[in-house]
Structure 1
Amino acid sequence: MDGKITASYFSLCIAGQIVSATFPLGPDTEFVFCRYELVAGPDWLLCSGPQHGLTQMATNKGGNFNDKIIFNMPIEATYKSTSPFGWPQLLVSVFGCNGHGRERLLGYARVHLPLFGSQCDQSSQPMLNAPILKPKCPNIIADLTSWMMRREPELRDAKVLLDTMKCKGLSMESYGTLELQLSTIMRGAQKLGYNWHV
């Protein structure tokens, strides 16, 4: 009997942060915060780290209207999987909040977790820029209703953005940019026949 143990899965460790958000024309709200969720396919198991998270409320009112809004929200997670299908993605919902505590959606951003790349010097890690996409009303009547009710259009399920086939008919506009810094450590992939570092 062969005493060798065959690897049955590989692991993916992610560490980084949601760094900041930038709105070229200003966020049109006093404070900004983000809700994030890690979403992966059925073959992926989240072993450690939170699947959901919430940043603090931040503002750029002390500077120019289009200055970066800094979050520096740490993200750490470890996955294991038998297949790269359904590679994990980070889905971020960006909200604004006025002085009275009223929340409004500013947009959504998404990014696939990096395939590889880990550097000891955090300052030299490459930045990932994800566009913040804001849903648009499908017609003038819906636009007028949204204006009268002072409620921005929202997606019923933001995860529809993760599937390119499902989000084809969505009407979205770019509202800003979300800046992220993520690094990856992968183990056991080559034993399963995956070689992505070539």
Structure 2
Amino acid sequence: MADPLPSCFTVMATGQIEGADLNGNDNAYCKFHFVAGEDWQLLDGLEEGITQSSRVSQGPDQMLVWNFPLDVTYKSTNAYGWPQLVVSVYGLDYLGRDVIKGYGCMHIPTCAGRHTLKLRLFKPRSASGLQSFLAWLSGMPAEFSDPRFPSYGEGREVTRVVSGGHVIVQINVMTKDMELFGYTDGSSRGSANTAQGPALQGLF
């Protein structure tokens, strides 16, 4: 008796948030969130977490090292809303207050395999010089009310930000049954058995 066709495809992502370079900041930790569309369901793993606090290493690269594990598995029938990883990095200011240092966002790679990615960080700017001065004085710089905001398209075009630093993420991606739903993840490109389906990059 033939096995029934699967009702969904599966995407598994494992890896780690390796560390960050924050342009002179020597103490920080990272919060992370996985954000996916309405058609995606979490099967296993944690969609959010927080790393330990780390100080800059004594080596020549001057990196903050976290090596914090990531492990999520999703299922879906639609590639729209492909999962994204959003990071929020916090550190200490000159008075020892805990403040935002930057946000970063990326889609989980659509191609199966091992990937090492650099997330460039940015943070919102105050609307005026007075607000910027008051934020500096109070130790409460401008930040997003929703830490998942960098993954949303709506409202991003009117947000003023300043860039600085980056986070290194190493991630391993595996997919299952995507070809049965008309998608190819690119890992078998050029093979005679590769299913001809729509490009994932056009569906975000």
- TM above 0.5, yes or no, is yes
Instruction: Give the 3-state SS of the residue equivalent to 2:158 in structure 1.
Output: coil
Distance in 1 separating the partners of 2:102 and 2:176: 35
TM-score normalized by structure 2? 0.84
Matched, 1:75 2:70: yes
Q: 1:85: which partner in 2? A: 80
The CA deviation at 1:10 is: 0.1
The amino acid that maps onto 2:8 is Y
Instruction: Give the 3-state SS of the residue equivalent to 2:180 in structure 1.
Output: helix
The amino acid that maps onto 1:108 is Y
The amino acid that maps onto 1:51 is E
Listed as ranges, the gaps of 5+ residues in structure 1 are: 119-124
Q: 1:7: which partner in 2? A: 6
Listed as ranges, the gaps of 5+ residues in structure 2 are: 190-204
User: In the TM superposition, what are the counterparts of 1:12-161 in structure 2 within 5 Å?
Assistant: 12-23=11-22, 25-27=23-25, 30-60=26-56, 62=58, 67-97=62-92, 102-118=97-113, 125-161=114-150
Q: Percent identity?
A: 28
The CA deviation at 1:160 is: 2.3
Which 4+ stretches in 1 moved above 4 angstroms? 98-101
RMSD: 2.1
| Greater relative contact order structure (CA < 8 Å, 6+ sep) | 1
Q: Residue 154 of structure 2: which of 159, 165, 169 is its match? A: 165
Q: 1:121: which partner in 2? A: none
Distance in 1 separating the partners of 2:20 and 2:150: 19
TM-score normalized by structure 1? 0.86
Name the CA shift for 1:63/1:5 in 2 (closer, same or farther; >3 Å). Answer: closer
Show CA shifts across 1:85-128 (max 9, x none): 1000001110003698631110111111011232xxxxxx4420
Name the CA shift for 1:196/1:8 in 2 (closer, same or farther; >3 Å). Answer: same
The CA deviation at 1:3 is: 5.5
Instruction: Give the 3-state SS of the residue equivalent to 1:190 in structure 2.
Output: helix
